[in-house]
């Protein structure tokens, strides 16, 4: 592992016991995380798993822990990173591929080592994106709610065949390519947009086009790009205006890719036949938490939930045993490399400054 913008001079000594704390650990994740750390770092660390998220209010709980395992909903801005460094933290390992929530510049200046999971299971996200697409296209959730009430009518949820229609894949990295392979299996025409063309996608018959053409011609648009300055609100009012009135939009990448206000205006106008969202631009502090006994103060999210053809899930596309297990193993390997002082080993290096900071 390599420090971001600085050289880490603090190393664990031979036989030294290192305190590690993990934030936002889910119940189903903890066992896999402990198993992985037991294999990789047995006897060299004490792993503490917390359900709470890491932010300015909770950062005092990290004091005395040399290694912090963060998650996608933790907020590691300059203030939090400074508090971590002052509390003795030297290494941060992000348990996700995206790390746009971490101020890498501040981390480098503080001499912190930052790692991430380069990828987990692209299939888990691609398959879930398809689950969202099919669910909204065929009205599966509405139908399930009806039949639970013993209402077996077929009024309303008429879907359409996807075979022969056009799938627009925005971003053809590992996940986008996996999504494209499934679309190809459905017999769909493939349009793609990315900075570079993927040879495997080209072999499937994908045609790379500009974003405007992709939005205009696609019956199904699925987003698989990182959240960076150039992609923030890439699905804005102009992009939505280009889309077919009966198109389906799926976002399993990052919430900030979609301008929620513009999406709400489009839905109010009666456009788009279905929207599947596993992410939301203001999901921090809401997703992964139980809000069932509270008043939903996020009016935009509450409004989204009122549309019958909109399906919102809680950032769970990655959440399979295969993907979470790989994340746990990679995180444990990163920490093991840190404990061994292998800061220049590119085989365990993730989170380079030049790496893509928002990949899913």
Show the tokens assigned to 272: 């788009």
* Euclidean distance between CA atoms 336 and 231, whole angstroms: 34
DSSP 212-236: HHHHHH-SEEEE-----TTTTT-B-
Contact 222, 250 (CB under 8 A): yes
Strands lying side by side in the sheet with 220-223 = 207-208, 189-193, 166-170, 220-223, 248-251, 274-277, 310-312
CB atoms within 10 A of CB 255: 18
- The residues pairing with 276 across neighbouring beta strands, listed in sequence order, are 250, 311
* From 254, 281, 326, 329, the catalytic residue: 254
Q: Is 146 a catalytic residue?
A: no
Q: Is 233 a catalytic residue?
A: no
* From 75, 116, 224, 315, the catalytic residue: 315
Show the tokens assigned to 235: 């699905």
Contact 84, 344 (CB under 8 A): no
* From 66, 217, 283, 329, the catalytic residue: 283
Name the residue among 96, 37, 91 with its Cα closest to residue 333: 37
Name the residue among 51, 118, 49, 112 with its Cα closest to residue 80: 112
Phi, psi of 249 (to 5 degrees): -115, 130
Q: Is 224 a catalytic residue?
A: no
The DSSP bridge pattern shows strands 45-49 and 67-70 to be unpaired
The catalytic residues are 254, 283, 315
């Amino acid at each position: 592992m390599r420090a971001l913008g600085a050289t880490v001079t603090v190393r664990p000594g031979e036989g030294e016991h290192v305190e590690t704390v993990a934030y936002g650990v889910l119940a189903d994740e903890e066992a896999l995380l402990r198993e992985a750390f037991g294999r990789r770092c047995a006897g060299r660390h004490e792993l503490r798993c917390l359900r709470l998220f890491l932010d300015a209010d909770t950062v005092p709980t990290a004091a005395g822990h040399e290694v912090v395992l963060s998650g996608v909903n933790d907020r590691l801005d300059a203030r939090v990173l400074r508090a971590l460094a002052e509390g003795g933290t030297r290494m941060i390992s992000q348990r996700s591929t995206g790390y746009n929530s971490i101020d890498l510049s501040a981390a480098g200046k503080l001499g912190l080592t930052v790692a991430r999971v380069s990828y987990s299971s692209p299939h888990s996200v691609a398959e879930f994106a398809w689950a969202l697409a099919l669910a909204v296209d065929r009205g599966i959730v509405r139908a399930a709610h009806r039949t639970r009430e013993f209402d077996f009518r077929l009024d309303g949820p008429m879907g359409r065949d996807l075979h022969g229609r056009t799938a627009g894949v925005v971003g053809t990295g590992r996940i986008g390519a996996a999504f494209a392979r499934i679309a190809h299996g459905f017999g769909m025409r493939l349009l793609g947009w990315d900075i570079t063309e993927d040879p495997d996608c080209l072999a499937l018959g994908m045609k790379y086009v500009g974003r405007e053409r992709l939005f205009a011609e696609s019956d199904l648009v699925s987003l698989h790009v990182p959240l960076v300055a150039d992609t923030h609100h890439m699905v804005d009012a102009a992009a939505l205006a280009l889309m077919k009135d009966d198109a389906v939009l799926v976002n399993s990448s990052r919430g900030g890719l979609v301008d929620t206000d513009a999406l709400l205006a489009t839905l109010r106008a009666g456009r788009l036949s279905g929207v599947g969202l596993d992410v939301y631009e203001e999901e921090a502090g809401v997703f992964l938490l139980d809000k069932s006994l509270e008043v939903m103060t996020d009016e935009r999210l509450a409004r989204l939930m009122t549309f019958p053809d909109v399906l919102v899930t809680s950032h769970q596309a990655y959440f399979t045993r295969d993907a979470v297990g790989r994340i746990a193993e990679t995180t444990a390997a990163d920490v093991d490399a840190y404990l061994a002082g292998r800061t220049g080993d590119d085989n365990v290096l993730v989170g380079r400054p030049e790496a893509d900071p928002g990949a899913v």
